[in-house]
Amino acid sequence: MSGPVGVGVIGAGVISQQYLDNLTRAADVRVLMVADLDVDRAAARAEEYGVPSSGSVAELLARDDIEIVVNLTIPAAHVPVALEALAAGKHVFTEKPFALDLASGSELLAASRRTGLRVACAPDTVLGAGIQTGRRLIESGAIGTPLTALTLFQVSGPETWHPNPDFLYARGGGPLFDMGPYYLSTLVQLMGPASRVTARGSQARSTRVIGSGPRAGETFPVEVPTHVAALIDFERGGSAQSTFSFQASRPRVGVVEIAGTEGTLVLPDPNMFDGELRLWRDGMFEESEAELIPAVGSTFSRGAGVVDLARAIREGRPERTPGDFAFHVLDLMVSIQASAEGDGQQVAIESSVELPPALPEDWDPTAATL
């Protein structure tokens, strides 16, 4: 086949707006339908973005002109919906996390291999200019040999702004599974596959209160740790300290630092696609002394991985956010969770992954290439 790849979006919630903002302006894909359990919500989202049709999940999966399903459902539905899409003969790009446990993640990878269809996964922030510039700098030797890394994500909790935050505190949520994929995917991109972890966790409160929207004031249960701190070792050598918290009154977000034998590189927020980098050398003490390095590359935002998947299908090459990569990040998160629940016992990570090459500086998801 040739020409733009037909795309169907399943899930018309908050995150669908960011995807549709971008996918509807990408020349190599054509968004043909939005589906949701709430068909009225799907219709409203399709009308908002000029998508020609909307309806049920079954109706979307029955269409022959849709080659890729963009799975934007809640985490607990990621694997069931992806499996249904594969069974219908569709490739899948799924929101993070890839799965909630290793058994279902393995089942999804097996189904992908059995059908010969692809399952790619967010976060595609790793394709953005910020992280890709950082990777090119590290691979060029800008900081010497990478030795240690630090990542921090600390906020009081998303219930202060999200109108329906329950799922973020249910199984498959919490700061580790909600925000961890951005930071851990970045670490694997920059430091290579992880090999083992040690972690601690805690839960500040057993219930939370919704702070905005029509359900403001409503109390809901907390089912997961709301603070996790991990020490991660990598196959190539080196280690990272990572903290993920929904119980910190002082917010600190977007912290990613890689320290090497000849310098320290500070990257922009891994939940974004752009931003400046800062390079520190020995003897620098003030922010003004660090070398500012502009990010070079795509700032297309969410949906870049869908475009890359579409091009990879047409070109017969591997996609850059494949299921194997997402499964390794899932394995890392599950291992962190197991160590935290096991009073800090060291947990070996059984999976590994071969990293795709860094993107060229001129990579452009908006260009017409198919």
Q: What is the pTM of this model?
A: 0.95
On whether the CB atoms of residues 127 and 308 are closer than 8 A, the answer is yes
pLDDT value of residue 318:
96
pLDDT value of residue 100:
94
pLDDT value of residue 197:
98
Candidates 39, 41, 40, 45; CA nearest to 31 is: 45
Which tens digit of pLDDT belongs to each residue from 292-348? 999 999 999 999 999 999 999 999 999 999 999 999 999 999 999 999 999 899 999
pLDDT value of residue 287:
87
Structural domains for the chain:
5-121 (3.40.50.720), 126-293 (3.30.360.10)
86 CB-side CA count, 13 A: 22
pLDDT value of residue 172:
81
pLDDT value of residue 208:
97
* C-alpha distance from residue 342 to each of 200, 206, 328, 336, 346 (Å): 8, 20, 21, 10, 9
Nearest-angstrom CA–CA distance, 355 and 162 = 34
Residue ranges in the chain whose pLDDT is less than 50: none
Nearest-angstrom CA–CA distance, 205 and 195 = 32
pLDDT value of residue 135:
97
Could you give the 3-state DSSP secondary structure of residue 115? helix
pLDDT value of residue 77:
95
Which tens digit of pLDDT belongs to each residue from 231-259? 999 999 999 999 999 999 999 999 999 99
pLDDT value of residue 288:
87
Q: In what order do the strands lie in the sheet with 263-267?
A: 291-293, 277-280, 263-267, 252-260, 146-154, 239-245, 227-234, 194-202, 347-348
* C-alpha distance from residue 148 to each of 27, 153, 240, 286 (Å): 40, 17, 5, 21
pLDDT value of residue 8:
98
Nearest-angstrom CA–CA distance, 272 and 298 = 11
pLDDT value of residue 46:
98
pLDDT value of residue 139:
97
